[in-house]
Structure 1
Amino acid sequence: MIRFDYSVFRKAKAPVIPVEFRGRDRWHNLWVYVDSGASLSILHTYEARRLGVSLKGCRKFYIVVAGDRRIPVFVKTLKMRLGGRVVPVEVGFCSALGGAFNLLGRKGVFDKFRVCFDDRKQTVSFY
């Protein structure tokens, strides 16, 4: 089991945790908001540059947001290290979603771990 305490995010405790993504030549630390409502993990495009990921080598698709706006997302599978365990995760890079935080979504994570949010104890656990 891997357990994280919630972190302070925008003046409140939230399931924001540290993970590592494998970049072109090394592991990079990132903070992500664990989001059971997100089907895909989303990182801002500046994280792609930091990781050494070329968006030209990514699969492009569009998501529809409020107001029927279509936003481009560039998807690539990356290795993610969560508490010492390495798993492949599909990550979407997007510049149009504000970039306030990175999201850790379900695909590649919730199908490999049983994820338990405990708001009373302010922890998120991965089994």
Structure 2
Amino acid sequence: KPAFITEFFTWTSPLAKTVRDNPALVERFELFIAGLEVANAYSELNDPIEQEARFTKQLEVEEELPKKIDKDFVTSLEYGMPPAAGLGIGIDRLVMILLNQPSIRDVILFPLLKPLEGTD
């Protein structure tokens, strides 16, 4: 049975647009089928001021991230970005579920990366 997770805190998704009525949340969802994440999507944040503030906040709390803000990205937002959204689908995972296969290795789309028989 598929499940959509739809309420993500803003701090977890610094590139996603905030929910209009609740700035603590972002416009994002993830789709899970059979316990596997199959899709991830969100509306793109296109406000350069808010984006730079989020990048700055992220640098303050995330120790493992590079200590540099992507100024080129923020500058490009200043020129204007129309409303946009993106969706990423795990094709291998989706095929694995549709074909009822126990392992993603059985359906991987790039067979040159698939291990030889008996090498697991």
TM-score interval, smaller chain: under 0.3
Q: Which structure has the highest strand share of the two?
A: 1
Query: RCO greater where, 1 or 2, for CA within 8 Å and sep 6 or more?
Result: 1
Q: Which structure has the highest helix share of the two?
A: 2
- Give me the TM-score of the superposition, normalised by structure 2: 0.25
Give the number of the structure whose alpha-carbon radius of gyration is greater.
2
